Amino acid sequence: MTVREFAERVLFSASLDEKLAPPPGEIVDRGRGTGIATPDAPGRPEALTLQRDGVRAEFPGTAGIEDDAQRGRLLHFFANHELLATELMALVLLKFPEAPGEFRAGILRTLKEEQMHTKLYLKRMAECGVSFGDLPVNGFFWKAVAPMPTPLDYVTRLSLTFEQANLDYSRGYAAVFAEAGDADTAAILERIYRDEIGHVHYGLTWFRKWKEEGPDWPAFVSRLELPLSAARAKGGFDFNEEGRREAGLDDEFIRELKVYAQSKGRTPNVFWFNPGAEESLVAGRDGDATRAAREVGRDLALLPAFLARSEDVTLVPEVPPTAHLESLHAAGITLPELVAESAATSLAERKLHELRPWARTPDALPVIEPLGIRCDLTAPELFSKACHAEFLGDLVDDSACPLLGAPEMVGTVAESRGEIAGWLANAATPMCVLKAPFSTAGRDRLIRAAAEPCSETEERWIEATLRRQGAIVIEPWLERIIDFSLQFDFRMTGGLRRRGMVVLRNTTRGRFRSATVAERFTDFLDEDSRRALFSSAPKRGHLATFLEDELEPALDAWLRRHHYDGPLGVDAFLFCDHDGKLRLKPVVEVNPRYTMGRIAVELARFTAPHAATTLTIATGAGPPPEQALRLTPGGPETRFAAYLSPAP
């Protein structure tokens, strides 16, 4: 028998026995013939035909693996994978007759091992009461590997991708079956694991012979095309560095693969950071604030990655150094796929779900438009502190909550220098704050004594702000007890969903410093303040009652009027009034975008359950918080850094 005759039998036979029969000992590689065209599918018995109509069995996972039937279903998936590998190797022998004899001999040896793996699974399945063909079989391996144009693509796609992933899967499942008391199946998987090390080594050897000069990792990544990516070279268990080193992969390859991420199936959302959102709504804006926003965007560009899930994409100016990604991985933080902004146009060729910038404002358009997916901008008025003051005023007028401050706490919108002078002349508090309607992070505001004449510098700021933005919001400066922020998602079709609450620490000028997520908000209050929140109140307390029964329904209606969809944060604080009583200002501002508080809420996924954790944004070269994990990379010009640490 010739190698070609044997490969034809394996690939095209509809008999499972024939497909799995090993070649005779006297097989020769003569009469190779010409390369065949890739068939749509391998020959299979009817019960094992690769599904084309979308029908597929759900992967059973390891739940209930102690049950024979469940165990057999899992082995059914494994057996189909091994049979597909056998058929793909037969295809290589028929498709590339001109390949070196040494390469073809290695394929033949590996094919015989794959036949044996399939038969081992079939025998164990039968002992569990499951027959091959009881479940639909999936042809993803075939669709991903069979169109290979060259033998180099074969070793890249099968040996270095799917078989490399099996270094994790086979060892991981061996441990699962052993723990379940199934020593027989665990032994099969251990044998397959040892064989897979050899298969990966074989593929790596030829990959290095055929690829262009240079490191293995970039050559590997560049040869993969969707739906394949380097992410499929990893299994769903602990990353097996030992097995990869034994297979011959170098340290750079292993390090890069360990931190690499890309969706293996779910259509990704695309995140990126545009912290100059509010400023982009002001015509002709320039100067220090814009420069500060650019520096924040440069230094903290990785932060949206902590909003994303592993199947998503985050755009960054530059992909952070591998060492930094390793530190996050070691801390248990799962990152999404990171794409450099210079390569963003490549995303337009992929199927994407949603575009999720930090804010849907005009400065996001240069990224939104090339990707070709609809992403409606947020109504500009939703960012205006004048609009927030109006919302708060309506809320206070309609509420009977005894915790609310007096109506005087609501900001006043002044559209002229005269209106500002009139408010200052009649101010009921010694200190006040003047805010530009479109501003963020404590910028573009003026804190001053209400009764004092405006300085020349203050007059210039007032005139410039009125000229650029048409108004200024004036508020009394209140004695804050604690700042906090409520984080929500809002959908026109699904309504308002609270995602969490964080306690904020800001500078005296209102610039963000940290957000702490804790199970109980009251842990951050002194005993007198806690007592004031719950005295003479329903069981939930005045604060919880107001938030759930008044603020959230009003917020839902307000967002619907503005046709908003997306994330938002509502900043609020508790303060002492003139009589020393605890009061609530439930809306300082509404941020119709992602916020640092939302990042803190999402980061809590990676910390111990019920533990209070803090996101801190530090400036300058000062020391990081105690026991802190640095979230964002640094460099010589870095001015801002983000840290995750236990709550102080």
Tell whether 559 is covered by a domain: yes
pLDDT tens per residue, range 189-206: 999 999 999 999 999 999
For 454-468, what is each residue's pLDDT tens digit?
999 999 999 999 999
Are residues 307 and 281 part of one domain?
yes
Residue at 48 is within a domain: no
The four Cα atoms 222, 228, 230, 236 give a dihedral, to 10 degrees, of: 180
Same domain, 309 and 426: no
User: For residue 609, what pLDDT is reported?
Assistant: 76
- Chosen domain end from 349, 377, 405: 377
Distance, CA of 229 to CA of 233 (rounded, Å): 8
Cβ atoms of residues 272 and 315 within 8 Å: yes
Residues 417, 341: one domain?
A: no
| Residue 253 belongs to domain with CATH number | 1.20.1260.10
Instruction: Kindly report the CATH number assigned to the domain that includes residue 396.
Output: 3.30.470
Among residues 199, 230, 259, the one where a domain terminates is 259
Give the count of domains, the chain. Answer: 3
Do 290 and 345 share a domain, yes or no? yes
Element (H, E) at 252: helix 251-259
pLDDT at 511 (0 to 100): 81
Whether 351 and 482 map to the same domain: the answer is no
- Note whether 244 and 303 are same-domain residues: no
Could you list the residue range(s) of the whole structural domain that residue 14 is in? Answer: 3-25+64-259
Predicted confidence at residue 37, as pLDDT, reads: 95
Q: Coil, strand, or helix at residue 149? A: coil
Do you know the residue count of the chain?
648
What was the pLDDT predicted at 437? 93
Between CA 468 and CA 48 the distance in angstroms is 70
Instruction: Note whether residue 647 is domain-resident.
Output: no
Whether residue 454 is contained in a domain is answered as yes
Q: Note whether 253 and 275 are same-domain residues.
A: no
Choose the final residue of a domain: 592, 613, 635.
592
- Can you tell me the mean pLDDT for 217-236? 92
Is 386 in the same domain as 364?
A: no
The answer to whether residue 47 sits within a structural domain is no
> Which pLDDT value is given to residue 286?
45
Mean pLDDT of the chain: 90
For residue 619, is it within any domain?
no
In terms of domains, do 369 and 387 share one? no
CA distance 431 to 592: 28
How many other CB atoms sit within 10 Å of the CB of residue 326? Answer: 14
Look at residue 291 and tell me whether its pLDDT is greater than 80. Answer: no
Q: Identify whether the C-beta of residue 141 lies closer than 8 Å to the C-beta of residue 162.
A: yes
pLDDT band at 535 (very low <50, low <70, confident <90, very high): low
Confidence at residue 70, expressed as pLDDT on a 0 to 100 scale: 87
420-437 pLDDT tens trace:
999 999 888 899 999 999
pTM of the model: 0.84
The set of residues, in sequence order, having a beta carbon less than 8 Å from that of 392 and lying 6+ positions away, is 410, 411, 585, 586, 587
283 and 432 fall within a common domain: no
177 and 318 share one domain: no
* 492 part of a folded domain: yes
Identify whether residues 254 and 282 lie together within a single domain: no
89 lies in some domain: yes
Q: Which pLDDT belongs to residue 526?
A: 82
